[in-house]
Structure 1
Amino acid sequence: MNKTALLTLTVALGVLTAPLALAVGTPELELITTTTSEVGTSYSASITSLVLMTLLAFLPMVIFTMTPYLRISIVLTIMRQALGLNTTPNTKVLVSIAVALSLFIMAPVVQEIGEKAYTPFSQGQISLDIAIERGAEPLRQFMLNHTMPSYLETFLQMSGQEYTTKEEVPLIVLWAAFVSSEIQTALTIGFFIFLPFVIIDMLVASVLMSLGMMMVSPMMISQPVKILLFVLVDGWILIVDGLSKSFFIG
């Protein structure tokens, strides 16, 4: 991820930590806070840098739970298990693939954050608090678009509060609903990926038993067959294409 992408995602992170990071009302911070102007409340360069560096620490958490990463990583892990390849590719490779695909899918969102928040902020047109507010909106809209309504309603009921529109839903409620919805979706996709390979295992086991080869492990025969089938049908591109379209279309 390049520097611009990191910074633009960091701006979006601020909506979660802004109350603590900016410490509004803290006497020490107020001493170095300038007066509010048309571009918002301005802070000194050292405080702004400190806030941005602090928010960068939350970047992995945001990538893992506010982007397609969660769905993609679960599906890829299930796919690896279905093929019987418990260590190939290894976990680090799967994580890298999931991050790469997540950034590919999130490219329009990152670009929108850059245009609405990072670029004006870097040029001094808006202050940090306004940049945080603007940068959070595309990420919020992305989560709204890909959260199951039933999950959002459930978490709204659990919060004990009522909201007339989706735009009024607190980010923490939307975040929890999005994570739960993504897990449900990933497990559903994983089931349909796993099912054909289970059928292959059952067929191979039945054939070996009918031939009286009960001492032969079905895995020795079924695993090469599953890998061959996966390669012949271009399984990898089908999974990647399906995962990507599930976000672009949704």
Structure 2
Amino acid sequence: MGKMISFLFILLGFFPQAYAVTESTQTSLLQEVTNSGLLDSLAPELKTVLTLTVLSFIPVMLIAMTAFTRIVIVLSMLRHALGLQQTPPNIIIITLSLFLTFYTMLPVWEKVENEAVRPYVSDTINLETALDNGGKHMKAFMVSQTREEDFSAILEMAKKEPPKSIEEVSFSYLVPAFLLSELTTAFKIAFVIFIPFLLIDLVVASVLMSLGMIMLPPISIALPIKVMLFVLIDGWSLISQSLVSSFT
């Protein structure tokens, strides 16, 4: 159980400075707690509580440090572009987003597992080395998807100087910059998706007006046309593949 809790601390180690603590201080604190044997001496009930507490941070990490944000926003906007308010349901959108996130992040997570998790669990490396090995791969992924403008804006708000290298980039500034970039990218993709459906709405509305059918809502005609065309081009598969490939 102690090793499992330490492993969960590795996961949390990818999100340092959440409580205004420096990365070196947090790493040293985790190393000291692990080496002291304090985790092994805790009662089983306290270990369970501590484990559940650490696990509660995983959804935050999933949203803030992976491809999930971009994917779920694009799929949600796609639903609105089709004119479907509650179809597919939110649970379907989130579930599909989780699977697509897994496929997108799999190469990064495999590197983290091979260079951080497995060596640490087998006592080949210590906690500090595991955090460094795992964190550098997560950091490289996030930096590759972060716009320079967003990162500069975060540093300006924090009144910090730009780092000289990727190794000096702090997660406390990289995470919000990454989220801003993901939001911007997601809305750009959503705008492109909206265009063909908007054209269908305009064409249907123009045809109905030219026929004098003013009282007939255009959405009642445009909706089945949009759904039919989306199914004919295998839209869900196309969008899913495009989202995953957008991170490469």
Aligned length: 231
The one-letter code matched in structure 2 to 1:24 is L
The one-letter code matched in structure 1 to 2:58 is L
Report the alpha carbon displacement of residue 172 of structure 1 after superposing the two structures with TM: 0.8
Residues 184-193 or 113-122, more deviating: 113-122
* CA pair 99-221 structure 1, distance change in 2 beyond 3 A: same
Q: Which residue of structure 1 aligns with residue 229 of structure 2?
A: 229
CA distance in 1 between partners of 2:232 and 2:7 (Å):
41
Residues 162-171 or 98-107, more deviating: 162-171
The one-letter code matched in structure 2 to 1:176 is P
Q: Which residue of structure 2 aligns with residue 57 of structure 1?
A: 56
Alignment of 1:197-236 (within 5 A): 197-236=197-236
CA distance in 2 between partners of 1:17 and 1:148 (Å):
21
* CA pair 15-67 structure 1, distance change in 2 beyond 3 A: closer
Q: Which residues of structure 1 form unaligned runs of 5+?
A: 1-6, 35-41
Q: Which residues of structure 2 form unaligned runs of 5+?
A: 1-5
Q: Which residue of structure 2 aligns with residue 184 of structure 1?
A: 184
CA distance in 1 between partners of 2:114 and 2:233 (Å):
40
CA distance in 2 between partners of 1:105 and 1:241 (Å):
10
The one-letter code matched in structure 1 to 2:159 is G
* CA pair 214-10 structure 1, distance change in 2 beyond 3 A: farther
- Superposed CA deviations along residues 97-124 of structure 1, whole A, max 9, x for unmatched, are 1011001110111111111111011111
| Overall identity of the aligned pairs, in % | 36
Q: Which residue of structure 2 aligns with residue 79 of structure 1?
A: 78
* CA pair 165-218 structure 1, distance change in 2 beyond 3 A: same
* CA pair 195-12 structure 1, distance change in 2 beyond 3 A: same
How big is the alpha-carbon RMSD for the aligned residues of Structure 1 and Structure 2?
2.7
Secondary structure of 1:125's aligned partner = coil
Query: Does structure 1 retain, via aligned residues, the 8 Å contact 2:197–2:226?
Result: yes
The one-letter code matched in structure 1 to 2:100 is L
CA distance in 2 between partners of 1:67 and 1:246 (Å):
13
The one-letter code matched in structure 2 to 1:189 is I
Query: Does structure 1 retain, via aligned residues, the 8 Å contact 2:145–2:178?
Result: yes
* CA pair 221-46 structure 1, distance change in 2 beyond 3 A: farther
- What TM-score comes out, normalization by structure 2 length? 0.83
Query: Does structure 2 retain, via aligned residues, the 8 Å contact 1:13–1:132?
Result: no
Alignment of 1:1-250 (within 5 A): 11-16=10-15, 24=29, 33-34=35-36, 44-45=39-40, 53-162=52-161, 163-248=163-248
Secondary structure of 2:13's aligned partner = helix
CA distance in 2 between partners of 1:22 and 1:226 (Å):
53
CA distance in 1 between partners of 2:26 and 2:155 (Å):
27
* CA pair 33-120 structure 1, distance change in 2 beyond 3 A: closer
* CA pair 142-148 structure 1, distance change in 2 beyond 3 A: same
Query: Does structure 1 retain, via aligned residues, the 8 Å contact 2:119–2:125?
Result: yes
Query: Does structure 2 retain, via aligned residues, the 8 Å contact 1:9–1:59?
Result: no
The one-letter code matched in structure 1 to 2:120 is F
Query: Does structure 1 retain, via aligned residues, the 8 Å contact 2:112–2:137?
Result: yes
The one-letter code matched in structure 2 to 1:191 is F
The one-letter code matched in structure 2 to 1:187 is F
Secondary structure of 2:29's aligned partner = coil
The one-letter code matched in structure 2 to 1:226 is K
CA distance in 2 between partners of 1:103 and 1:167 (Å):
25
Report the alpha carbon displacement of residue 64 of structure 1 after superposing the two structures with TM: 1.2
